[in-house]
Amino acid sequence: MSNPARPLTEHQPAALHALSLRANFAWTLAGNIVYAAAQWGVLVLLAKLASPEAVGQYALGLAITAPVMLFASMKLRALQATDVRHDYVFGHYFALRLVTTLAALAAIGTLAVIGDYRTELIVVIVLIGLTRAFDNLSDIIYGLLQQRERMDRIAISQILQGGLQLLVFTVCLMVTQSTVWSMAGMAFASASITFAYDARSVVLLGGRWSALTPIWDWHRLGRLALRGIAPGLAITLGSLMVNIPRYVIEHRFDERELGMFAAVGAVALVGGTVVTALGQSASPRLAKHYAAGAWQAFDGLLLRLIGMGAALGAAGVAVTLVAGPQLLTLLYRPEYAERADVLVWMMMAYGLQFAYVFLGTAINAMRRFAVQLPVQIVSCLIVAGGSMVLIGPYGLVGVAWALLGANLFEAAAYAATVGYIRRVEPKAR
């Protein structure tokens, strides 16, 4: 009888060694840019080759599946990446992610059926959910790679994922003119990279294929799930904060207006690619500074991150003020340029977020995941109430104002939270 597989831990020999912070950032930025460009390419193709209604259907599918899959993720990637003491090993994280992803797929299918949508839209929603399910499995492997500071493997995976998904989507859309077959192609592409490339990363770290074995220790999985519930709820509410306006627009207007809003919002989020790369690269380093009590290094890195995010947001606002209509015409079609005013306000909302999001990264590095939950609850209430009140008299601009108001609140709340922890924590340790 063979011996049971030993869990993948920090003390086992690995074929991959940590990279420098600069190298990790460069790789992460490259991977995030290509992946985000590919996801945006899907939206651009729909806008150019189909109609705003098709864009709206895709946006609605994302709005329904994203919160469910994010809750299923339970922010395990962040928990794993900042687990410098190795309270749990990869097999625990992988096992829990398998369970929650299957549950999320069942929930998405249920929501699609009871939502009283057309059959075609139900199928699109389920296929988008399937694509995100494979992405979720890749994501837990990314958490292991991020913990080991090997962002190059994550970047290569994102480049392969994004490129293959866009290629297959484009071919399917041009050949079949069907959104359903195009979404099915994306799901197949996502599964291919998850199994063909990402699984290999775990093997390289663990030195054997058995490193991929999930560990079904239900007592420890239950404890890990309890740790993940609060951050999972927080990240779900963060997704809801972005998607609540889409629900309101679809209910108040139609899929065409939703498509317009989604396309404009995608432009405003372009800078988020750089911000995400910075946060993912710096998170393990911030966690190590925190664990070591190296507060000067912690504060210095955090301030540099916030400064870079603020500069990026300011640049984005300037570009949209000067060339918003031209940009929307170039990227999509002339009819989208009529919503340039919405783009300016959306860029202000997300530009602010580019700066304060690193305060959330610092909170994650301190492993104070639960404190983000009440902040996200209030933010969702602000967005929901603001959108419903302002959409009537001000249309899509009013929805953008609601997002800006929620981000202003989050910026203040996260700044106060980090400031409080920094004052109290050194005395408590």
For residues 267 and 327, the answer to whether their CB atoms sit within 8 Å is yes
Is the pLDDT at 78 greater than 70? The verdict is: yes
Above pLDDT 70, what percent of the chain?
95
Q: Taking the CB of residue 311, how many other CB atoms lie within 10 A of it?
A: 13
Residue 217 tokens read as 């220790």
**DSSP-assigned letters across all residues of 207-273:** SSGGGG-----HHHHHHHHHHHHHHHHHHHHHHHHHHHHHHHHHHHS-HHHHHHHHHHHHHHTTTHH
Q: Taking the CB of residue 219, how many other CB atoms lie within 10 A of it?
A: 7
> What is the pLDDT at residue 8?
54
Is the pLDDT at 96 greater than 60? The verdict is: yes
> What is the pLDDT at residue 16?
61
Is the pLDDT at 4 greater than 70? The verdict is: no
Residue 319 tokens read as 């570009």
Count of residues for the chain?
Answer: 429
Calpha distance 155→32 (Å, rounded)? 7
Is the pLDDT at 102 greater than 90? The verdict is: yes
> What is the pLDDT at residue 322?
93
> What is the pLDDT at residue 315?
93
For residues 47 and 267, the answer to whether their CB atoms sit within 8 Å is no
For residues 261 and 249, the answer to whether their CB atoms sit within 8 Å is yes
Q: What is the mean pLDDT of residues 19-47?
A: 84
List C-alpha distances in Å: 210 to 11, 26, 87, 207, 333.
16, 31, 20, 9, 51
* Window from 88-92, 152-156, 192-196, 419-423 with minimum mean pLDDT: 419-423
* Window from 44-48, 221-225, 307-311, 337-341 with minimum mean pLDDT: 44-48
What is the band of 15 on the pLDDT scale with cuts at 50, 70, 90?
Answer: low
Q: What is the mean pLDDT of residues 10-31?
A: 70
Q: Taking the CB of residue 408, how many other CB atoms lie within 10 A of it?
A: 16
List C-alpha distances in Å: 421 to 29, 83, 126, 143, 360.
29, 19, 42, 25, 12
Q: At what angle do helices 199-206 and 119-147 cross, to 10 degrees?
A: 20
**DSSP-assigned letters across all residues of 52-98:** HHHHHHHHHHHHHHHHHHHHHHTTHHHHHHT-TT-SS-HHHHHHHHH
Calpha distance 347→383 (Å, rounded)? 16
Distance from chain centroid for Cα 10 = 27
Calpha distance 59→63 (Å, rounded)? 6
Q: What is the mean pLDDT of residues 201-213?
A: 82
Q: Please work out, in degrees rounded to the nearest 5, the angle formed at the alpha carbon of residue 12 by the alpha carbons of 7 and 14.
A: 110
Residue 99 tokens read as 């369970």
321's CB contacts (< 8 A; 6+ apart) are 344
In a 13 Å sphere around the CA of 60, the CA atoms on its Cβ side amount to: 28
Task: Specify the 3-state DSSP secondary structure of 149.
Answer: coil
Calpha distance 349→396 (Å, rounded)? 14
Taking all residues of the chain, what is their mean pLDDT, rounded to a whole number? 87
Task: Specify the 3-state DSSP secondary structure of 118.
Answer: coil
> Element (H or E) spanning 148, and its range?
none
Sketch the domain layout of the chain as residue ranges: 21-428
The residue among 19 and 95 whose pLDDT is bigger is 95
* Window from 167-181, 252-266, 345-359 with minimum mean pLDDT: 252-266
Tens of pLDDT, residue by residue over 273-292, are 778 878 877 888 888 888 88
Is the pLDDT at 2 greater than 50? The verdict is: no
Alpha helices in 253-339 (DSSP H): 255-268, 272-292, 295-331
Sign of the dihedral defined by the CA atoms of residues 291, 292, 293, 299, in that order: negative
Is the pLDDT at 361 greater than 60? The verdict is: yes
Tens of pLDDT, residue by residue over 127-166, are 999 999 999 999 999 999 988 888 899 999 999 999 999 9
